[in-house]
Each structure stands twice: as C-alpha cells, then as structure tokens.
Amino acid sequence: MQDSSRPVRRFATVLQGRGVIALACGAAALAWPDGMLLRAMLLTALVLAASGAYEMGFAYRNRHRNRGWPLALADGAACFGMAVISVTLTAIPFHATMLLAAGWLFACGVLALLLALAIWPMRRSRLAMLAWSGAQLALAAVALFDDNAGLVTLLYVGAAYTIGFGLFQIVAAQWMRRMAMPQFEPTRQQSWLATHPR
C-alpha cells in the first residue's frame, strides 16, 4: 500500500529547510550589511533556485499521487522567480528590476489570496494567509509606484522580506505537518486491507 503522506512530508521538509536558510541569510544581511548583504543575497538566490527547481520537478512527478501538486508547483515557481530577480539585480536596468519585483510580488500576493480562500473555514490559517497576501500586494505597489527607491534600499528591503519569507516557510511547514499530513496518512483499516486483500 502506498503512503500518500510521504510527498506531503517531503514537501514540508523542503519548506522547513529553505525557510531556515532564508531566515538566517536575511538576518545576517541586516546585522552585517557591509560584509554580508551581497553574499547573503546570492546564497539565498542559489538556495531558492535549487529548491524551487526540485520542488517543481517533485510536483510534476507526484501529480497523479497527490491532489495538492499544483501548490508545490506554484511555490517552486515562485521561489525560482525570486532567485532570478535576486541574481539579475545588477545585470539589468534598475527600473526593469523594480517592474519584475512588482510583478512577482503581485503574483505571490494573488497566490496567497487564493490559498486563503481555499482554507477559509480555518480561521487562524485564513488570517495568516490574508496578512501575507496583503503585505506582498502592498510591497508590489511600492515597487511599482515609488520613484525614490534606490538599489541599496531595495537590497535592505529584500533582506527584510527574506526574513519574513523564511518565517512564513517555516510556519507553513509546521502547518502541513499538523494539518495536511493527517489527511493523507493511511488509516489502520487501510493497513488491514493491504495485509488481507479480498
């Protein structure tokens, strides 16, 4: 008998590890900006790109086993997009970077809003997703309409956002372990059927 909770457990582990690294890199960038800001940004981009690509492949492989695969696919794509934006900060004009960041934040905000609608009966989870969606949509508006922001400001805001992103990933991993995994774990009756097939 296949354990359908295994992909959920693995997805939660990816979220947990990525969240811890993002939180540590964001905190280090703010604590030691002169020596760590750029390095932390590049390390975070590398982790996001690798984990995002893995997550998208993982979602595609498990699309027939787990109905939650679009969530993993969207999360992986969002992380990969954040990595691309981080790496191209100094490679493209600053205005183009801000447009990319605004578009990415808007897409992530809409995704969080859709997730909030999907888990609407869960009050605390719903409020958390709505708050995260509102924060991302607000940052998207700032990135789109604030003409006074410079590269240094973007880096500092990006470091602070990375901390929030890391915390969100860690909380999401814990939520998946507590709320989502029990929905997929095999029951004792299913194990009886697997041991004694009709």
pLDDT in tens, 12-46: 899 999 999 999 999 999 999 888 888 888 899 99
Among 116-120, 146-150, 156-160, where is mean pLDDT lowest? 146-150
Burial pattern 33-69, b for ≥16 Cβ within 10 A else e, equals eeebbeebbebbbebbbebbebbbebbeebeeebebb
What is the per-residue pLDDT for 120?
Answer: 86
Average pLDDT in the chain: 84
Name residue 114's amino acid: L
Residue 86 has pLDDT above 60, yes or no: yes
Q: Is 127 exposed, middle or buried (0-12, 13-18, 19+ CB in 10 A)?
A: exposed
Sign of the Cα torsion 79, 103, 26, 116 reads negative
HSE-up of 191 (CA within 13 Å, CB side)? 5
| Mean pLDDT, residues 169-188 | 75
Count the Cβ atoms, other than its own, within 10 Å of residue 123. Answer: 9
Tell me how far apart the alpha carbons of residues 143 and 99 are, in angstroms, rounded to a whole number: 7
Pick the CATH number of 5-185 from 1.25.40, 1.10.287, 3.10.620, 3.30.530: 1.25.40
CA–CA dist 109, 140 (Å, integer): 9
Which pLDDT band holds residue 183 (cuts at 50, 70, 90)? low
- Rounded CA gap, 82 and 164, in Å? 14
Mean of pLDDT values over 175-194? 61
Name the pTM for this structure: 0.80
Structure token pair of residue 156: 């500092």
Asked if 105 and 82 count as a contact pair (C-beta separation under 8 A), the reply is: no
pLDDT of residue 192: 43
Q: Looking at per-residue confidence, does 25 or 180 come out higher?
A: 25
Q: Is the pLDDT of residue 5 over 80?
A: no
